[in-house]
Chains A and B, each alone.
Chain A
Amino acid sequence: MAALGLALASSLAGLFATARRPALLRGLSLPLFALSGLAALACGLLALADGGSITLQLPLGLPWLPWQLRLDALSGFFLVLLGALTLAVGIYGVGYVRDFERGRDQLPPLGAFSGLFLLGMELVLMADGAYLFMVAWELMTLSSYFLVAFQHDNAANRRAAFLYLLMGHISGLCILLAFGVLASFSGSFAFAAMRAAHPDFLWASVAFALAFTGFGIKAGLVPVHAWLPEAHPAAPSHISALMSGAMLKVAVYGFLRVVFDLIGPLHWQWGVVVLTVGSLSALLGVLLALMQTDLKRLLAYSSVENLGIVFIGLGLSLIFLGTGHRLLGALALVAALYHALNHALFKGLLFMGAGAILHSAHERDLDRMGGLLRRMPWTGTFFLIGSLAISGLPPLNGFVSEWFTFQAALQTWQLHSGLLRTLIPVAAAVLALSAALAAAAFVKAYGVAFLGRARTRQVRRARQVPVNMRVGQGLLALGCLAAGVFPSTVIAWIVRVPQSLLGSGLPQAGAQGWLWLTPVSPTTASYSAPGVLLALLVLAGLTAWLVHWGAVRRVRRSDAWDCGLAPPTPRMQYTATGFAQPLRRVFGAWLRVDEGVDAGEGATPRHRLQITDRSWALFYAPVVRVLDRLTRLVTRMQAGHLRVYLAWTLGTLLLLLWVVTL
């Protein structure tokens, strides 16, 4: 519990220190930020190791609604995730914010709201009652709104921040209503009482639908994801890393807490909904990511995809648990949690990489980058590790969680319902497709940004980033490697979550020792990540040795092949737009692609390409229209005369009195 206190104290101290003197942001606030992350990490590990739950009463809150904190395995897991990322972000941020010191941006809000944002996330994870949960949730949402609006000189950023605020409030409202439904059955806002009460199927489903909508908005699921690709790129990069890596996971935590822990018995029908939405998010997220040329937007859309994968895992888990397969439910849950952890690691790393490019080349547009690997070898190497991990390639961590999700999906034969047996393989197909497309998206991002030749002078002159930025990235890259190569160890920790939540772990997962990963049984499937890495290294060594001794070793540098025509210029390279063109044609129907050539009278013809998210036209526009019509109706009341308003007030009062007396 000492760690818990430190976590809170350091984020608060970070807040006040910066508020007084801007220069302290680097010297005090961000180190404290990192310390808080470390404390959260330790705290989470303690909670996971302990297995039980620890509660603590805060001397705050309302007299009849005390703020109670509780740490169990689920909170512990997400605290580890948050803490690890915060630690890296804190170290990285020290270098990154130096850019802002010279600029016109106000530093105190950055430090203050970063601290509050972290405090909010930590409190959400530890809250043991709906009241504290909602307060912390709103703290998280509001403080991150100010972080998104940090560079508010730019109109696009203001718009993004407003959209974010709006969606954040709808999300908060849904969650509040979900808690309301649960509280009406339990008679109390404390989680312990909600856990004990079991609403009937109808009301439980209402609560589920509200919670799924609320947390789904925050997690950026399709079709309510539109705020995410606007808001994440607008924030400073280290905050983007935290928002994408950690805040979306806090939404996953909330979903898990409410649905798996509080509502009561689970129903497989919910799983079908979650699985469908998850699959759609995965596919649309990756398609839109593939089409982006702004590196940070690409990463943001890829977050939509990855959260989709997490929710595919959660949906599978709900289906298995709802049909009484506890072991398989635990398997799918572990897959989802593993992917959540992995996403925090690699998305944090990639956003930091994007921030490093922004820091030294002042460029976010992929089509203007190129050749950065030679200018920034460390960032280039770390970004490569992140790209490999996010593309789900062995032996890195993204592969392990996708492998786990596939293994869970392959257990469909144990179900009896024909519908489910059809649906789950289709979801697995979608997962396979989105994993393959993610690889394409990150070949594009890495290839265009780091390889080839620089396309602009600014990028050609990019310099290495300061050492602490490299350390921050390096930590997460190490985390990606470790979580990829030692999955059994990681799973031995994660498995405590289903153990405490569902009462069922994965007895087989590490039964063959730390070398082997056998989710169901050794004959069903096995993967030995250390073995694969070792075999790769041995074979690579053997190949290199044979080639070294057997082949001609002479290497001559020469010009690239130019077909015997003019030497290639950097402008001849494939751009990000060009790279995605074949896939844009194949999947054009899923996106809104507006492409053509504008050739006016005498003007030089220009290629026009605009890709918009279909959810705007299909989902948002109708909602906006309906709202618009409703508000028009309401404006009829607005006559501008005081006596009319007084009459309305009187009428309302009478109506309320009548309702009360009923």
Chain B
Amino acid sequence: MNAADTVLAVAQALLWPLAAPLLVGWVRKAKAMLQNRRGASVLQPARNLGKLFAKETRVAHTASPLFRVTPYIVFTATWLAAAAVPLLSTRLPTSALADVIVVAGLLGLARFFLALAGMDVGTAFGGMGASREMMVSGLAEPALLMAVFTLAMSAHSTNLSSVVDHQLAGGTLLPSMLFALGSLILVAVAETGRLPIDNPTTHLELTMIHEAMILEYSGRHLALLEWAAQIRLLLYGALIANVFFPWGIATTAQPLALGIAVGALAGKLLVLGAALAVGETVLVKKRLFQAPAFLNLAFLFALIGLLSHVILEQGM
């Protein structure tokens, strides 16, 4: 670990919050185009954040101090989790600091506080959002960990840099990888609050999960929470893109390799974002109690992937 790596790691960590609104902007743009609308600029989510930061913050009379620290905790934990995922380069000291289980743990920490903050004001919607979120995440988290374990077992490592390096060296997509990929996509959809589990654009309180939890937030607090949600989307996107399709990611700190990596990442995320937009256009939101079936499928995929790895592919 030398100085160049450290500088690169800091740069990548700073890149996450900057790039996250763009991905959301692209998904919205693609969705608009699919619906024959022109759509807002890709920069619109970033502008929205700026607007929220410039507004005054309202806090309910009944809110406790926990309500006010939660946005900072959620944002920081999500950001740190993201910083441990290789974005441009696999030479990432932070991925040794926190392996993939820690990444899942940090996302869990953010979710724990978010759910608590939902219950803090003492309205029905917050509790409803918290209760639903904990159900969805309770089912999604094991699937996520199982999918990740499949990778970790074939790479013999839970450090994401090593996993990506192993994938680069391996080159082929084994059956277990395909199952893990399927599972991870389903989990990503559920965990980032997209259709068919949750609708990010709904304005009806009764159908919301994530939005119901943050209903009481406004101003800079809301900006931080929205920003964290955008980083989480980018995190899952980068995880899928770089772990399963690692081609193009930089393994050295050379400027040329980094340039290629930026291009490759942008390309992969454009494709993934477009796929998400297509998915959200053709699917409808499911009833809450059909979400478990969806997540059980993710869990089964992950388990099959893991079993097919330990039984079939051992020694390969």
Contact = CB atoms under 8 A, between A and B. Distances in A.
A525 B126 CA distance: 38
B56 A556 contact: yes
Contacts of A439: 108, 111-112, 134, 137-138
Contacts, number: 268
Given A425-B306, A582-B131, 10 more contacts: A394-B102, A429-B146, A433-B138, A452-B62, A525-B158, A532-B97, A558-B58, A561-B123, A561-B125, A582-B132
A424 to B, nearest CB: 8
A422 B289 CA distance: 30
A20 to B, nearest CB: 46
Contacts of B303: 425-426, 429
Contacts of A429: 142, 145-146, 299, 302-303, 306
A190 B138 CA distance: 48
B138 A440 contact: yes
A578 B64 CA distance: 22
A559 B61 contact: yes
A181 B224 CA distance: 64
B184 interface: no
Given A447-B127, A579-B127, A586-B292, A394 B109 contact: yes
Interface of A: 370-371, 373-374, 384, 388, 391-394, 399, 403, 406-407, 409-410, 412-413, 418, 421-422, 425-426, 428-429, 432-433, 435-437, 439-440, 443-444, 446-448, 451-453, 522-528, 531-532, 535-536, 539-540, 543-544, 547, 550-552, 554-563, 568, 570, 572-574, 578-583, 585-586
Nearest to B108: A393
A373 to B, nearest CB: 5
A555 to B, nearest CB: 5
Given A373-B66, A453-B62, A447 B115 contact: yes
Contact of B121 (A452, A524, A531): A452
Nearest to A387: B112
Given A388-B112, A425-B146, A532-B80, A451 B122 contact: yes
Contacts of A547: 53, 72, 220, 224
A452 B122 contact: yes
Contact of B54 (A435, A551, A579): A551
A421 B132 CA distance: 34
Q: Which of B54, B75, B142, B219 has the most CB of A within 10 A?
A: B142
19 contacts: A421-B310, A428-B145, A432-B145, A433-B141, A448-B119, A526-B99, A527-B97, A532-B106, A539-B79, A547-B224, A552-B54, A552-B220, A555-B58, A556-B57, A557-B60, A560-B122, A573-B124, A583-B138, A586-B139
Q: Return the 9 tightest CB-CB contacts between A and B, nearest first.
A: A574-B127, A447-B119, A452-B122, A440-B134, A432-B142, A436-B141, A453-B122, A551-B53, A554-B56
Contacts of B61: 557-560
B286 interface: no
A410 B311 contact: no
B122 A535 contact: no
B288 interface: yes
B76 interface: yes
B14 to A, nearest CB: 10
Contacts of B119: 443, 447-448, 451-452, 573-574
Nearest to A574: B127
Contacts of A426: 303
Given A410-B149, A528-B97, A560 B216 contact: yes
A418 to B, nearest CB: 6
Contacts of B306: 425, 429
B223 A451 contact: no
Contacts of B220: 547, 551-552
Contacts of B158: 406-407, 410, 524-525
Contacts of A393: 105, 108-109, 112
A532 B98 contact: yes
Contacts of A448: 119
Contacts of B64: 371, 373-374, 451
A413 B149 contact: no
Contact of B60 (A410, A413, A523, A558): A558
B105 A536 contact: no
B3 to A, nearest CB: 18
Contact of B57 (A394, A409, A554, A562): A554
Contacts of B97: 526-528, 531-532, 535
A573 B54 contact: no
Contacts of A523: 157, 159, 162
B116 to A, nearest CB: 5
B153 interface: yes
B56 A524 contact: no
A422 B124 contact: no
B198 interface: no
B122 A399 contact: no
B258 interface: no
Contacts of A391: 108, 112
Contact of A540 (B73, B141, B156): B73
Nearest to A584: B135
Contacts of A580: 131
B76 A543 contact: yes
B38 interface: no
A573 B118 CA distance: 11
Contacts of B121: 452, 560
A435 B122 CA distance: 26
Nearest to A399: B105
Contacts of A554: 56-57
A412 B137 CA distance: 26
Given A443-B134, A447-B127, A556-B57, A573 B122 contact: yes
A306 B153 CA distance: 25
B91 to A, nearest CB: 14
Q: Which of B79, B125, B135 has the most CB of A within 10 A?
A: B135
B166 to A, nearest CB: 10
B124 A526 contact: no
Given A410-B158, A573-B127, A556 B58 contact: yes
A311 B152 CA distance: 24
Contacts of B311: 418, 421-422
